[in-house]
Chain A
Amino acid sequence: AQTVTQSQPEMSVQEAETVTLSCTYDTSENNYYLFWYKQPPSRQMILVIRQEAYKQQNATENRFSVNFQKAAKSFSLKISDSQLGDTAMYFCAFTLPTSGTYKYIFGTGTRLKVLA
């Protein structure tokens, strides 16, 4: 069975600093998709960044980037120049194209607080 583990329940970072959230997953498949979602207090889950496993290049979206280590089954999220609006829960998610349903397996989340 596929699993996703986020080992940091809570983290904090000073405004303008850089923070890295960790995520590991377990699968025997070779082709899959990975995502990071942000959930602010409004409850709206917002897609931050996605990575396709067959692409070796790490995905980046403005201040957000990932460190995708396929052999280690690791998919960490780096937030640069942290802003107060980055305060939220962050969830790592995984899906298999071969599943037929593309349902996501989510980690338990990391609560990030950006301090002024």
Chain B
Amino acid sequence: GAGVSQSPSNKVTEKGKDVELRCDPISGHTALYWYRQSLGQGLEFLIYFQGNSAPDKSGLPSDRFSAERTGGSVSTLTIQRTQQEDSAVYLCASSYTHRDGYTFGSGTRLTVV
């Protein structure tokens, strides 16, 4: 595709429910990243994919968070048993070479009520 696509754009969920956030990167971009942006904060790294494997999951905040990538393309970030502190904007980015910088999606704003 022309850009990185994320869905849904906004998601409101009840505390304790599971949510799935989707990222469709630019075709041909082998690297894919998830970041979390809380209100008034910078971007917090969550996970990095190279192809279908995730060599760096060090930023996932708890075992309630998981992510997968299939076919070297679409990635899904799953948050189980959501908590209010999970409320944030979740940004996905992809890149072909590290020198050129990431291309970001528009993010998913998650609100846990």
Contacts and interface: CB of A to CB of B under 8 A. Distances in A.
B65 interface: no
A44 B101 contact: no
A91 interface: yes
Interface in B81-105: 89, 91, 93, 95, 98-105
A62 interface: no
Interface string A19-46: 0000000000000010101000011111
Contacts, number: 60
A102 B95 CA distance: 10
A37 B42 CA distance: 12
Interface string B47-62: 0100000011001000
A45 B45 contact: no
Interface residues of A, number: 26
Interface string B1-45: 000000000000000000000000000000101010000111101
B101 A50 contact: yes
B106 interface: yes
Given A33-B98, A108-B41, A109-B42, A44 B55 contact: no
Contacts of A37: 104
A22 to B, nearest CB: 15
In this complex, the member of B91, B99, B102, B106 whose beta carbon has the largest number of chain A beta carbons within 10 angstroms is B102
19 contacts: A4-B42, A33-B98, A33-B101, A35-B101, A42-B106, A43-B91, A44-B107, A45-B104, A47-B102, A50-B100, A101-B56, A102-B31, A102-B48, A102-B98, A103-B45, A104-B45, A106-B43, A108-B41, A109-B42
